[in-house]
A = this chain, B = another copy of it.
Amino acid sequence: MRILVVEDEHKIANSIKKGLEQESYAVDIAYDGVQGFDLASTEDYDIVILDLLLPGMDGLAVCKRLRDENIHTPILMLTAKGELHDKVEGFSGGADDYLVKPFAFEELIARVRALTRRPRNRLNSVLSYGDLSVNTLTFEVKRGKTLCRLSKKEFSLLEYLLRHPDIVLSKEQIIAHVWDYDADILPNTVEVYIGYLRNKIDKPFPKKPRLIRTRRGFGYQIGRER
């Protein structure tokens, strides 16, 4: 799966690239509209992620020109917060989906998945580990048969951990995926949220193994204690 990211802010472009590569996509970057158009029209990408405001040729123009050239690669448009009006324009320009900045990385991944793979179905919508299960359609979290009520952030954090079972995720990785790229989140916030999760899915079940493990110095991990 190849993805082209057209984004002039290097910081954002690189963090998107890094994140997508971690999900094993092959990512190219173009830092302006003209270069973006050239790459998108000559190379064969599965998705183009296109910022609306670009030097040279703006995202909308790139989008329109690509469609005019009969290139129908799915386009995910990124629009800054104020420009709500541009949503409509973005779509009419031929984009397939849009995402309002700033976004949490997991949201981007979700959109990209939606554009590449099938629509979300009932079959692969449940993540589980041991007797913990997380349903991404009903947003239900269960430990055994007991329902746990999680807030949105708690849910995304748990979902992120659960999509990488047994792997140690650093606080930095967690922040990059679960929070906005430009939210300035302290590592301590992750600790706090891990605490909230433990209160809800580990502490109430003292006889069951703890699933959220601290790997001091490295990060956190979903996994059985040994």
Measured CB to CB, the residues of A under 8 A from B are: 9-11, 14-15, 18, 21-22, 24, 29, 31, 67, 70, 72, 88, 91-97, 118-121, 137-139, 147, 151-152, 155, 166-168, 182, 184, 215-218, 221, 223, 226
Contacts and interface: CB of A to CB of B under 8 A. Distances in A.
A168 B134 CA distance: 13
A180 to B, nearest CB: 12
Copy number in the complex reads: 2
B91 A218 contact: no
B217 A14 contact: no
A126 B199 CA distance: 33
13 contacts: A10-B67, A10-B94, A11-B88, A14-B94, A24-B121, A31-B67, A31-B72, A138-B166, A138-B167, A138-B221, A138-B223, A139-B168, A152-B216
Q: Which of A67, A91, A221 counts the most B-chain CB atoms under 10 A from its CB?
A: A91
Given A21-B118, A72-B29, A94 B217 contact: no
A124 to B, nearest CB: 13
Given A29-B72, A119-B22, A215-B139, A182 B14 contact: no
